[in-house]
Amino acid sequence: MAPVAITEDYYLVLKVDQSATTDAIIKSYRKLALVLHPDRNREHDTTEAFQLLGRAYETLKDENQRRSYDRLYLQIKSKATSQPRASTAPQTNQKREEEIDISQETAGIAALDKSKAERAARWSTSRKVYDDQIFELKREVRKLQAAIREIEDKVKKEKEEEAAKNSWGRWLLSPLNGKPVETEEEKERKARERIGRMHSIRIHEAKLGNKEEELGRWEKILLDGEREFASENMKYQKNRCVFEERIRVKKERVQQEKDRIQRERERAEREARERAQKERLEKERVEREARAKAFREEQEKQYREWQERAAAEEAARLKRQEEINQARLVEVEKRRNEQKRRMERLARANQAHQEDPARSFGRADTSSSAYPAHGFASSTAGSKCIHEGWWNKVEGRNICERCGVARYRYLLQCPGCSYRACPSCQKVLRPPKRYGNKLKTDQAHRQRKMAGFGSAYDDDYD
């Protein structure tokens, strides 16, 4: 399978120069990965951009792949400049502007990092040379100092021997041991040795001075190099801080613009929510008014129906009342006619009594046929009851069998024939008690009472 042709400018994707070091490429990749990672950037096109960034990083961090890519880089760059192509990392307009704005600063930081790395490499080499030279000089100085100390030790030992020979103890013992005698040859040999040691000390001291002077020069060169390297690092830090400050300012501007856009979006959303809420409230108000209107109309309809029913019921009630009133009028008229007829009968009975009292109230004939005018006869044909005794009360609404008037409280019932009559009619039907040939009550008073429908029982009527 043929390899896939590379058409992307990986140096532009990673925002580094073609001469950038591996450390600069790694650093730029880590920084861009934090921006383009899909988990941290929710844009719809960051996945493709992050994959392209990974391919560029995998290609440029490997030396062999980078050399192969560099051989094709001129062709890729010429195609990219001659033919406009789509962005390798599609992003929003705001992010592309942000990347273009900080490209110069990123390139400046990359150049500073590269110069720092080269300077550090040169200083490392120079420092190694300086350290080696200083180490050799210190080793030679230590050798010369050891040689000088060795010669001085010999001189010191010789002086101690001479002092021991000239000491009081040796002088006191000289008679016994004898005084040592040195020959001329020994004296000359010691003198030559002493002079040789003096010359050796001077020569070694001269060499030591030269070596120490040379060591001081190398140490000064090392110190100056360290100071220069430190000052260059300070300049690097200062320049890098300048670039980083520019990047920070631009990012702050972009962030402020984002915040402004976000605030405008939130304000628009808030206004949209408020409008939607107002519309919803207005809709609810209209619905409430419609429901209230429908409820009022329903109530009015029910009220009209109730009024119509009430009017119909009132009309029916008035009609029934009118019918009842008419019936009452008819009944009253009937009662008046009946009362009129009764009064007429009573008047005839009174007249007949006045004409023939013995016939009306004779002891010999007390049957019902003897009292036709007073109504003492029973209502039933052929009855022989004279309605004497105590008449019991019959509670309830009943109709008098004599006058036909409906009584609301009670009637009186005859104990002999169970004839029911009102107290007024009972006074007429019941014969008066006799004590010899005299009546118990005054006849005239009794007639007035009957004419006025009054009796002892009338006190309980309505």
pLDDT tens digits along 249-271? 888 888 888 899 999 999 999 99
Asked if residue 82 belongs to a domain, the reply is: yes
pLDDT digits (tens, 9 = 90+) for 188-197: 887 888 888 8
Number of domains in the chain: 2
Looking at the domain assignment, is residue 418 inside a domain?
yes
**Among 188, 187, 204, residue whose Cα is nearest residue 151:** 204
Name residue 421's beta-bridge partners: 412
Q: Determine, yes or no, domain membership for 284.
A: no
pLDDT, residue 462, reads: 39
In a domain, 276, yes or no: no
Is residue 422 included in any domain, yes or no? Answer: yes
Say if 256 falls within a structural domain: no
3-state DSSP helix/strand/coil % of the chain, to nearest 5: 75, 5, 25
State the CB neighbour count (10 A cutoff) for residue 329: 10
Question: What is the average pLDDT value for the chain, to the nearest integer?
Answer: 77
Share of the chain above pLDDT 70, in %: 75
Domain boundary among 63, 91, 119: 91
- In whole angstroms, give the CA distance from residue 63 to residue 56: 13
CATH for 409: 3.30.60
Helix ranges (H only) for 63-167 are: 63-82, 93-101, 103-165
| pLDDT tens column, 125-144 | 888 888 988 899 889 989 88
Burial track 19-28 (b if 16+ CB lie within 10 A, e otherwise): ebeeebbebb
Q: Using 50, 70 and 90 to split pLDDT, how confident is the model at 184?
A: confident
- Please give the pLDDT value at position 349: 76
- Residue 417 has φ and ψ, to the nearest 5°, of -120, 5
Span 6-32, average pLDDT: 84
| C-alpha closest to that of 377 among 407, 339, 417 | 417
Q: Which of 66, 91, 116 is the last residue of a domain?
A: 91
Give the separation between CA 36 and CA 31, rounded to whole angstroms. 9
- Residue 14 counted as domain residue: yes
What does the pLDDT average to over 84-105? Answer: 51
What SS3 state is found at 411?
strand
18 HSE (CA, 13 A, CB side): 10
Which one of 91, 111, 127 terminates a domain? Answer: 91
CATH of the domain at 14: 1.10.287.110
Question: 64 is in which domain, residue-wise?
Answer: 1-91
pLDDT digits (tens, 9 = 90+) for 190-219: 788 888 888 888 888 898 889 889 889 989
* Phi, then psi, of 418 in degrees rounded to 5: 60, 30
Q: Examine residue 310 and state whether it is found in any structural domain, yes or no.
A: no
pTM of the model: 0.36
- Write the pLDDT tens digit of every residue in 274-290: 999 999 999 999 999 99
366 — phi, psi (to 5°)? Answer: -115, 15
What's the order of all strands across the beta sheet hosting 392-395? 392-395, 410-413, 420-421
Please report the pLDDT score of residue 248 as a whole number.
Answer: 86
